[in-house]
Amino acid sequence: MARRWPENLWIVRHGQSAGNVARDAADEAALDRIAIHGRDVDVALSALGKEQAAALGQWFAQSSDQPDVVFASPYQRALQTASLVQHAGGMEQIPVVADERLREKEFGILDGYTLSGVRRHFPEQAEIRHVMGKFYHRPPGGESWCDVILRLRSLLDTVVLHHADRNVLIVGHQVVVLCLRYILEAMSERQILEIDAAGDVANCSVTHYRRDDNTSDHLSLVRYNYVVPVEQVAVEVTRAPDPPVAARG
């Protein structure tokens, strides 16, 4: 039986977080560790990240299409983004559903290390990742991209089952945006890694899919990494990777 997708599906990366700022500082100082205290799940938005999220909410307020439901990663920075979009967009009546399947990729023993720090402290993992590639490499205690994709396939089943014909907004993380593209567009490993290598997913950028017509079971990509909602209110656009730099290479 054919799937019935939402009418519109928007996928948004959270606004700039304190972790993004700390990662940039660690890179600039050539440090091995990123100065993040406590759990990654509790890292909040920066002041700029809050402005970005509010700008996105204003953009939705001016749009002819608005979300009927929001799914968000349970990480603090994603929930804050969803809430700010909701309030700035005048959408307080729509539900925000925290879903653990949208959480950040788990980095295990490499969590909090810069790329240079991984090479210095975990040279065997750096070599394994070099051989296997970032798509399949699973650090001890962590996840590969394939692991993230598996849980996101389950999430999309939920979206189709309960929210067909509606407008759905997903707020997550950089790897979530990329892995959802991989699933929705039936990409190969090479195709999604080429997109990843071309540039980071901007904070509060919009990736938008629209159902082809009222009877179609196919979603078409309308735009990817769209930053006009942030730019149009003169808020700075940021594109830093998420804190564990070992995710990139």
DSSP assignments along the chain, one per residue:
------SEEEEEEPPPBHHHHHHHHHHHTT-SB----S-GGGPPBPHHHHHHHHHHHHHHHTSS---SEEEE-SSHHHHHHHHHHHHHTT-TTS-EEE-GGGSPPPBGGGTTB-HHHHHHH-HHHHHHHHHH-TTT---TTB--HHHHHHHHHHHHHHHHHHHTTSEEEEEE-HHHHHHHHHHHTT--HHHHHHHHHH-PPPTT-EEEEEESSTT---EEEEEEEE-HHHHTTTPPP--PPPS-GGG--
pLDDT grade, residue 248 (50/70/90)? very low
- The 10s digit of each residue's pLDDT in 146-173 is 999 999 999 999 999 999 999 999 999 9
pLDDT at 1 over 60: no
- The 10s digit of each residue's pLDDT in 22-49 is 777 777 777 777 777 788 899 999 999 9
Least confident among 8-22, 109-123, 233-247: 233-247
The pLDDT score that the predictor gives to residue 215 is 64
The pLDDT score that the predictor gives to residue 38 is 81
Token pair recorded at residue 81: 């983004």
User: Rounded to 5 degrees, what are φ and ψ at 156?
Assistant: -65, -30
- The 10s digit of each residue's pLDDT in 42-92 is 999 999 999 999 999 999 999 999 999 999 999 999 999 999 999 999 999
The pLDDT score that the predictor gives to residue 79 is 98
Higher pLDDT, 220 or 243: 220
The pLDDT score that the predictor gives to residue 249 is 31
The pLDDT score that the predictor gives to residue 93 is 95
Burial 146-155 (b: 16+ CB within 10 A, else e): eebbebbeeb
- The 10s digit of each residue's pLDDT in 206-216 is 999 999 876 66
Which among 211, 226, 167 has a CA at the least distance from the CA of 12? 226
Query: Which structural domains are found in the chain, ordered by start?
Result: 8-247 (3.40.50.1240)
- The 10s digit of each residue's pLDDT in 180-196 is 999 999 999 999 999 99
What contacts 18, CB < 8 A, 6 or more positions away? 36, 43, 44, 45, 46
Residue with tokens 């590639």: 133
Residue with tokens 């983004």: 81
The pLDDT score that the predictor gives to residue 242 is 62
Average pLDDT, the chain: 90
pLDDT at 227 over 50: yes
User: Rounded to 5 degrees, what are φ and ψ at 63?
Assistant: -85, 150
- The 10s digit of each residue's pLDDT in 128-139 is 999 999 999 999
77 has binding-site annotation: yes
